[in-house]
């Protein structure tokens, strides 16, 4: 599937057409996204927070799974690019009336939508949709099952680069429920592609995937041992629904061993940054004073998420337009 994914999300010349997964992308592609996001930051600080890049395009937010932060930042990103946005909460609409995913899709295509932002509880859903859309449509994965959440990973890379610049010098600790986290998976791929010095995955054995070291990370079950010399600490949301299964004993016990507390953060480098993809469970995986503390860049992640998603949407849409128009580089426009 890796090869198929790689092919499907790229144009013939290697430019991004869909954004489904970090896997298979090279450093140049990821850097292009981060650089473009950097130039969009200014747009969000202007009096008129808009640029006309996607004017006349229609973006459909297709959310088969609940989300507030991801959906709203995608919506804002599309609107700041001047696109029209449709928010479709599929879990309470067509799907509940028995319409299949492909029927929903074909209907939206018939309404001349140009981009689908897809979140689905099934791994591979965005990929499935991308393989069925017409050539003028771009598909962005906003989280599929336990597989991938590439835009979240990119906004995290953006936040890290703005605070720390050179990935080759960084030690990054990711702590929590990595087994169920599509965010962690995408982060690990992105960190590796960008050449991060050391990535440590920390959590109880029951919450780490068996083959995790194959992803290019060091595994550690003791958070205190992992933290010294760390530049970036990423906490993951403990999905409370997992508590009911036999994977964890209690929230209290988890917090005692893996909670990001002020005392633990002191073990990392003094200028270490603390990140979390949200929503945070205060007192379960992170102490309130850490989440709101001076080392936390959690809200900066959210803000940067808009610029990062603007970058991804405009790169993908631009590449599709270029590939359809057939005139790739011979710009006739000068001054």
Minimal distance, residue 161 CB to other proteins, in Å: 13
CB 8 within 8 A of CB 20: yes
C-alpha closest to that of 231 among 174, 173, 185, 303: 173
By residue count, the chain amounts to 335
Is 315 in a helix, a strand, or coil? helix
Contact 22, 186 (CB under 8 A): yes
Output the smallest distance, CB 273 to other proteins, in A.
Answer: 22
Q: Which stretch binds other proteins (CB under 8 A): 47-55, 97-105, 180-188, 244-252?
A: 47-55
Least Cβ distance, residue 36 to other proteins (angstroms): 4
Q: Tell me the C-alpha distance between 270 and 250, whole Å.
A: 31
Calpha distance 128→183 (Å, rounded): 20
Closest approach of Cβ 286 to other proteins, in Å?
Answer: 32
Give me the least distance between CB of 6 and other proteins, in Å please. 21
- Residues in contact with other proteins, shown as a per-residue x/- string from 275 to 314 under the rule CB under 8 A: ------------------------------------x--x
Answer for which of 47, 110, 168, 246 binds other proteins (CB under 8 A) is 47
The closest of 92, 154, 95 to 125, measured between CA atoms, is 95
Which run of H or E residues covers position 84? Answer: strand 84-89
The residue assigned the tokens 């209290």 is 252
Applying CB under 8 A, which part among 139-147, 173-181, 231-239, 317-325 lies near other proteins? 317-325
The β-bridge partners of 10 are 16
Q: Per-residue contact track with other proteins, 16 to 35, x per CB under 8 A?
A: ----------------x--x
Residue 50 makes contact with other proteins by CB under 8 A? yes
Contact between 51 and other proteins per CB under 8 A: yes
Separation between Cα atoms, residue 99 and residue 317, nearest integer Å:
28
Pick the binder of other proteins from 12, 214, 271, 330 (CB under 8 A): 330
3-state secondary structure of 295: coil
The answer to whether 321 contacts other proteins (rule: CB under 8 A) is yes
CB of 62 closer than 8 Å to CB of 118: yes
With CB under 8 A as the contact rule, which of the stretches 101-109, 159-167, 226-234, 319-327 interacts with other proteins? 319-327
- How many residues bind other proteins (CB under 8 A)? The answer is 33
CB of 25 to other proteins, least distance (A): 16
3 state DSSP class of 211: coil
Kindly list the residues in this chain that would bind other proteins in the complex (CB under 8 A).
Answer: 15, 32, 35-36, 38-43, 46-48, 50-53, 311, 314-315, 318-319, 321-322, 325, 327, 329-335
């Amino acid at each position: 599937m890796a090869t198929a994914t790689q092919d499907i999300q790229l144009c013939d010349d290697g430019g991004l057409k869909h954004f489904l997964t970090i896997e298979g992308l090279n450093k140049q592609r990821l850097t292009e996204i981060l650089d473009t996001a950097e130039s969009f930051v200014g747009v969000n600080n202007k009096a008129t927070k808009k640029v006309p890049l996607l004017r006349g395009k229609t973006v459909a937010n297709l959310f088969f799974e609940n989300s507030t932060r991801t959906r709203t930042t995608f919506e804002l990103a599309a609107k700041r690019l001047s696109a029209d946005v449709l928010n479709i909460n599929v879990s309470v609409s067509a799907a509940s009336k028995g319409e299949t995913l492909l029927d929903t899709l074909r209907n939206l295509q018939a309404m001349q939508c140009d981009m689908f932002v897809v979140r689905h509880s099934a791994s591979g859903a965005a990929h499935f949709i991308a393989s069925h859309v017409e050539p003028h449509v771009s598909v962005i994965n906003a989280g599929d099952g336990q597989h991938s959440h590439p835009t979240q990973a990119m906004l995290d890379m953006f936040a890290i680069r703005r605070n720390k610049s050179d990935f080759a010098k960084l030690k990054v600790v990711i702590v929590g429920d990595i087994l169920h986290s599509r965010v962690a998976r995408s982060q690990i791929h992105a960190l590796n592609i960008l050449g991060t010095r050391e990535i440590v995955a920390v959590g109880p054995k029951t919450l780490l995937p068996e083959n995790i070291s194959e992803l290019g990370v060091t595994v550690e079950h003791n958070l205190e041992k992992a933290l010294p010399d760390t530049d970036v600490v990423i906490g993951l949301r403990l999905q409370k629904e997992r508590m009911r299964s036999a994977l964890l004993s209690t929230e209290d016990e988890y917090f005692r061993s893996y909670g990001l507390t002020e005392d633990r953060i002191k073990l990392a480098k003094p200028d270490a940054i603390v990140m979390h993809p949200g929503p945070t469970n205060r007192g379960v995986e992170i102490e309130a004073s850490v989440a709101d503390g001076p080392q936390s860049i959690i809200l900066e992640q959210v803000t940067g998420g808009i610029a990062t998603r603007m970058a991804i949407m405009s790169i993908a849409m631009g590449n599709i337009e270029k590939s359809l128009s057939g005139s790739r580089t011979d710009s006739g426009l000068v001054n």
